[in-house]
């Protein structure tokens, strides 16, 4: 039988900083940790640096892996179960003064939402880097990044999250994850899903908020990020294994999607 650990919501806090607008902390969670249903008074973002976990909130659930960013509104009740590898989290809570300013501009920040990479992860990674600095500009930069993330959520079309996902979309996603290192085409993905390529293109964007090609690129970068953080494999080898034709193309794409070079990413996450 697997052993589990019960823990407090903040886990083992290894670093913390508080100013007039935000409370930032970095926490470690032991393998198989369970946190029973709880809530936080403050709204906060959670950025997963390492490991994985799942959460239940209301009738919904979310699966979080490296580079996942989750926005929790104030007093959202949820329970958390960490995987056997444990996790490292970066959390920044928004104090009432700043949150009220944000809420005055948008009424969409009362619902939880999660992001798998993309711009929110780029902003969170930049914020995490500033969290480790102490120069005079850090406070302004940190607050600016937090506002950017809140603005990104405020502009999302909440209606898209309510619609039911077709079952074949999971087949398309699974096929991409299995074959991302090969030369994929829209037609091959559509064939694997059993739908017409035009129908695939339209519905895929509706639910994934990107084209099939952009999704494939992201999957390749996710794989490369895992290799950067968990291995010492040379960049050229990672580029080829991820499906890129050469290291230069890989490095350029990686920086566009993550906001940092492969070398910078490795220095943070490894």
Domain CATH number, residue 140: 2.60.120.280
Question: Are 171 and 155 in the same domain?
Answer: no
The domain boundary residue, chosen from 142, 160, 178: 160
Together in a domain, 145 and 185 = no
Query: How many domains is the chain built from?
Result: 2
- Give the SS3 label for residue 16: strand
Burial class (CB in 10 A: 0-12, 13-18, 19+), 70: buried
pLDDT in tens, 80-120: 999 999 999 999 999 998 888 777 666 667 888 888 888 88
- Give the whole-angstrom CA distance, residue 85 versus residue 68: 16
Same domain, 134 and 213: no
Q: Which of 35, 38, 33 lies closest to 78 in space, CA to CA?
A: 38
Q: Look up the CATH number of the domain holding residue 187.
A: 1.10.10.60
Averaged pLDDT, groups of 10, the chain, 270 residues long? 58 89 92 92 93 91 90 93 93 88 71 85 88 67 81 61 74 93 86 84 81 88 93 94 90 88 89
pLDDT of residue 235: 95
Determine the 3-state secondary structure of 252 from DSSP: helix
Query: pTM value?
Result: 0.62
* Domain range for 140: 5-160
Domain identity same for 62 and 117: yes
Residue with tokens 């944000």: 102
Query: Sign of dihedral through CA atoms 217, 219, 223, 225?
Result: positive
- pLDDT score recorded for residue 152: 79
* pLDDT for 156: 63
Q: Both 178 and 264 in a single domain?
A: yes
């Amino acid at each position: 039988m697997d052993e589990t650990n019960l823990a407090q919501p903040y886990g083992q806090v290894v670093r913390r900083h508080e100013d007039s607008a935000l409370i930032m902390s970095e926490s470690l969670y032991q393998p198989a940790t369970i946190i029973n249903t709880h809530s936080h008074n403050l709204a906060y973002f959670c950025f997963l640096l390492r490991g994985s976990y799942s959460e239940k909130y209301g009738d919904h659930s979310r699966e979080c892996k490296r580079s996942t960013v989750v926005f929790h509104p104030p007093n959202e009740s949820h329970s958390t179960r960490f995987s056997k590898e444990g996790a490292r989290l970066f959390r920044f809570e928004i104090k009432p003064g700043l949150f009220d300013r944000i809420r005055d501009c948008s009424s969409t920040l009362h619902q939880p939402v999660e992001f798998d990479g993309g711009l929110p992860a780029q902003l969170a990674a930049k914020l995490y880097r500033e969290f480790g600095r102490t120069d005079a500009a850090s406070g302004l930069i940190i607050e600016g990044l937090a506002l950017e993330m809140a603005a990104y959520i405020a502009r999302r079309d909440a209606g898209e999250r309510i619609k039911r996902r077709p079952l074949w979309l999971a087949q398309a996603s699974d096929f991409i994850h299995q074959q991302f290192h090969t030369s994929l085409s829209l037609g091959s993905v559509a064939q694997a899903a059993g739908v017409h390529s035009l129908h695939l293109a339209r519905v895929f964007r509706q639910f994934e908020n990107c084209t099939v090609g952009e999704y494939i690129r992201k999957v390749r970068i996710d794989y490369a990020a895992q290799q950067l953080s968990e291995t010492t494999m040379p960049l050229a080898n990672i580029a080829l294994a991820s499906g890129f034709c050469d290291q230069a193309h890989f490095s350029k794409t990686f920086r566009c999607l993550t906001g940092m070079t492969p070398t910078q990413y490795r220095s943070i996450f490894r």
